[in-house]
Structure formats: C-alpha cells, structure tokens
Amino acid sequence: MTKSEFLDLQNKAAASGKTLKAFLQAEGVAYSTYNFFFINRIKFRCKFA
C-alpha cells in the first residue's frame, strides 16, 4: 500500500459512516495492514514535528 492509497482509504473510511473494521472488511484490507500504516504515519509526524 502506498501513502496515497492509505490516505485515500482514510478519507473513504471517514465518509462511509461504517465502523473502521466493517469498512476495511468491505474493502478487502486487513486491519493489521491498515494499522501498520497508521502507526508509522503517527511515528513520522512525531519524529519531524
């Protein structure tokens, strides 16, 4: 998953009105994959903030 794919997924999840788990299941994305990108994004922001 690229950064742009992750950001697109976040936007779609927010707009879907579903729980994150239900949205990811519908998109065929494992929660562990999403979580990996989310945690790394937070670490990157903290490191360069």
Residue 26 tokens, joined? 């519908």
Cβ contact 34:24 at 8 Å = yes
pTM, to two decimals = 0.65
Residue 32 tokens, joined? 């562990």
pLDDT of residue 13: 92
Q: What digits encode the pLDDT tens for the residues 1-49? A: 777 888 898 899 999 999 888 998 999 988 888 888 888 776 666 666 5
pLDDT of residue 16: 95
Q: How far apart are CA 49 and CA 44, in angstroms?
A: 8
pLDDT of residue 48: 60
